[in-house]
Amino acid sequence: MLKNLLIAASVLTLFAGPAAAQDRYQNRPPVVVSPDLTAPWVMQLGGQQARTRQVMYRQQIPAATRKQYYQGQLARPQAKRRVVNPLIQPANAMRAQRPVKPKFDPQFLPQTVSYETKEKPGTIVIDTNNRFLYLVTGNGEARRYGVGVGKPGFEWAGAHKVSRKAEWPSWTPPQEMITREAAKGHYLPARMDGGPENPLGARAMYLGSTLYRIHGTNAPWTIGYAVSSGCIRMRNEDVVDLYERVKVGTKVIVI
């Protein structure tokens, strides 16, 4: 009995196997290769629909459509507009902006002007009220510079001579200045070497045996104002120019 069953199963397999295999391979969807050689191969599944399905990739445009684009029959798709969140600012826009300093008044630039005086050529006359320094050149003319002068309570007047000249001078604040500024919460160093950050700037011309000087500044926007502790301050480029024109012993008149 068992032998008869095995024979029957073998006969069924013999006839059914080729038909099933033929039907299997007959319905197998084809392999569709992308025309874009840089794209991976794609297996399309789904019977007859797969045989006629056109494989397209995101960056591909059909030839007919491309032709319409070139002939102007179709408008090219517009690029997506970037939506900017107004609450999100670039890093540089979020930085704290530095305070805007006053613009430098052109009248305080060095210039030759008419100046009638009885003082000899080479004399320096400082008009503290108008914030000008005059270097008398003679023939009714003088070279004029803008200056910063002593703030209220620190004004002075008198005549002295340039006793010493120094390039990029060091600064040693007097003790009374250190005490005065400390009371305001400003702590000054006992001494500061010369350099761009030094309040005395690029040059200094010392007046007699006093603590007063004609000097440069690290705050050029203060020229034209009464801001100092009695010294006469100039822009660095201007004090260098004056420094080269005067000698030790030059008479200085402050009015």
Catalytic site positions: 215, 231
Rg of the Cα atoms in the chain: 46
For 180, the token pair is 């005065």
CB under 8 Å to 181, separation ≥6 — which residues?
Answer: 173, 187, 188
Q: Is 237 helix (H, G, I), strand (E, B) or coil?
A: helix
Write out the H or E segment, with its range, that includes residue 146.
strand 141-146
Q: SS3 breakdown of the chain: % helix, strand, coil, rounded to 5?
A: 25, 20, 50
CB under 8 Å to 157, separation ≥6 — which residues?
Answer: 128, 254, 255
For 111, the token pair is 């210039």
Cβ count within 10 A of residue 163: 16
For 167, the token pair is 């390039």
Comparing CA positions, the residue from 126, 124, 178, 125 lying closest to residue 149 is 126
